Homo-oligomer: A and B are copies of this chain.
Amino acid sequence: MLQKITTPKKADWENLCKRPSLSRKDLDQTVQQVFSEIKRNGDNAVKKYTNFFDHAIIEDLKVSDKEIQESICLVGEELKKAIALARSNIEKFHTAQIEQKQVIETSMGVNCWRESRAIENIGIYIPGGSAPLFSTVLMLGIPAKIAGCRNIILCTPPDKNGIINPIILYVAQLIGITSVYKIGGIQAIGAMALGTETVPKIDKIFGPGNQFVTAAKQAVLNYGVAIDLPAGPSEVLVIADKSSNPEFIAADLLSQAEHGPDSQVILVSDEETVIDRTIVALKNQTEDLPRKETVIKALQNSKAILLQSINDCIDFSNLYAPEHLILASEDANDFASRINNAGSVFLGNFSCESAGDYASGTNHTLPTNGHAKNYSGVSLDSFVKKITFQEISREGIQNIGPAIEILAEAEQLLAHKNAVTLRLKSLRDV
């Protein structure tokens, strides 16, 4: 069960904010070996490692149209309708993030603006395992499509029979993923970063994964490939007061805890009774969960902290910088403006984290492990570059040119100065 801590000293807060340390094995050598073999042997190397790591013999790495078509029949109507609702909300929220061109005349005759351009080649990684994480296909594929990315490919490991879960294939075709490949782990990340006969070289790789995938994603930065976010286990922090519902809080903490034994959940409150009731509710609700063992392990990393005031709770939360932050209070709106560090914030007793995980429309790919201090979650921005443009007229260069000459000379960059001097001279000579 999670550890209860009563009004710790501020000096101890930083320690309480520490995440369970990641026992990240040194996988760099393995990653380098797989990558260099993919560079030499392309598809054959990918197939070799798919056999080695996933125990599957794959003839065609690319999922066929036939398999895609079959998947459509294998997904039930009720699930299709739920997916359609989630898709619609995610589309609405991310479409609103399209930026309109706005021309700024900074000096007379000097017009500057930004335009977004899609990153051309996007790779989405979806882990395998028992549950098909199709919601992440929605969260990454939909904004990529709205951004206008040309190639949006998806890699996910096959099971031992070479099969991909049909819900993943159904969602991929629904939202317009270009191609799906039966590749997992290091070899998937390597194939996307380097390109093979079958897999196109990708500009940016998105998606969660185990420690092999994490190590491989870190390595692709050396190949000029970008990634979505640094990796870390999922986490939630709940700020509760006397208006909170302990049953709801317990359910939210558990929905985070079931992600994995290294997940972390934190409850902070200025009301001891809320903490105590939540702990009772946690015990009761845990009993019925199929992932009970995972949940119990995650709760061992977790804390319920009584603090002296809601202000302290907010300060603590900003120091922790949680991936998910639930303001489980009727006064949530008053707290929200003081939140500085969080991935996604859920206001009030009816905004549960599962809503954001699936269907409210916000993105669920968020900064973990304290990175909410310096990274945003995935949004439409993650799939575009914002290019600056400037158009300077004859009048414009006459207005700012003399200043540029002075500035360039002060930096001892005389060729920079000369580029202006020549232009100003040409205008005087006319």
Contact = CB atoms under 8 A, between A and B. Distances in A.
Interface residues of A, number: 129
A255 B117 contact: no
A104 interface: yes
Given A258-B413, A352-B420, A387-B343, A359 B404 contact: yes
Given A131-B413, A251-B418, A400-B355, A114 B350 contact: no
Given A107-B89, A360-B106, A392-B350, A339 B413 contact: no
A394 interface: yes
Given A377-B388, A413-B258, A358 B404 contact: yes
Contacts of A291: 413-415
A370 interface: yes
Contacts of A352: 392, 397, 419-420, 423
A376 B89 CA distance: 27
Contacts of A396: 350
A185 to B, nearest CB: 20
A289 interface: yes
- What DSSP secondary structure best describes chain A's contact surface? mixed
Interface stretch (A53-61, A74-82, A173-181): A74-82
Interface string A152-188: 0000000000000001000000000000000000000
Contacts of A135: 407, 411
Interface string A391-430: 1111011001111101110111111111110110010000
A83 interface: yes
A38 interface: no
B373 A414 contact: no
A332 B391 CA distance: 9
Contacts of A413: 131, 255, 258-259, 291, 354
A368 to B, nearest CB: 11
Interface string A303-336: 0000000000000000000000000000011001
The 7 closest A-B pairs by CB, nearest first: A106-B361, A89-B106, A82-B403, A251-B419, A82-B406, A131-B412, A347-B391
Given A257-B415, A355-B392, 7 more contacts: A112-B361, A221-B230, A248-B426, A258-B416, A289-B418, A344-B390, A355-B390
10 contacts: A89-B400, A104-B361, A135-B407, A248-B419, A350-B397, A352-B420, A352-B423, A354-B404, A354-B417, A375-B385
